[in-house]
Each structure stands twice: as structure tokens, then as C-alpha cells.
Amino acid sequence: MTEQDIGGQAIQVTAVNVGLSAVVGYVLFKIITRPKPTSYGRLWIGWFAGIATLANFPRVLLHQFDLNAVGTWLFPILFLSPVIWLLGWAYGKIRGT
């Protein structure tokens, strides 16, 4: 088995583990809680942070923690989270929970 095969297999296993974790966490969240508007805000921030990390963090690792790469990863999480929370809160209010 070559190094490329091992690396490809590791990526596949990681992707499956992350996907399964997300599905299990989401199902448990839906079973356990009935969200309030503030819970929707936190939930939206959580999803947003997770998606932003999945989209941008590999670039951080590829460029070995270059300042620009770290900034493109952290900027959306830090500065857009209040906007995302407000959108989630408004969605919870409109939904009537």
C-alpha cells in the first residue's frame, strides 16, 4: 500500500466520521430539545462556525498558519456571528417557538 493510498483512506475515514457525528448530533438535538428563539440563534451560530471551519481551516493547515489564512478562517466566525445569531433568533420568533 502506497502513501497515497493510506492518505486517501485516512481522508475517507475522516469524512465519514465527521458526517456521522454531524448526523447523530443533529438527531439527538432534535430529540432532546424544543428550541426557543435564542436556541435557534445559538444553533445557527454553531452550524455557521462548523461550515466556516470545514470550508476554511484546510487552507490554514495548507499554508502552515499563515496570517492571511487564519484571518480568512476567523473573520467570518468572529465578526459575522452576531448577524447569524440575530437571523436565527428572528427565525425562531417567526416560527413561533
Q: How many other C-beta atoms are found inside a 10 Å radius of the C-beta of residue 3?
A: 7
* Contact present, 78 and 72 (Cβ < 8 Å): no
Q: How far is the C-alpha of 20 from the C-alpha of 26, rounded, in Å?
A: 10
pTM of the predicted model, to two decimals? 0.60
As a whole number of Å, the CA-based R_g of the chain is 17
User: Which of 29, 24, 33 has its CA nearest to residue 97?
Assistant: 33
For residue range 34-73, list pLDDT tens digits in order.
Answer: 667 788 888 888 888 888 877 777 777 777 888 888 888 8
For residue 62, how far is the Cα from the chain centroid?
A: 19
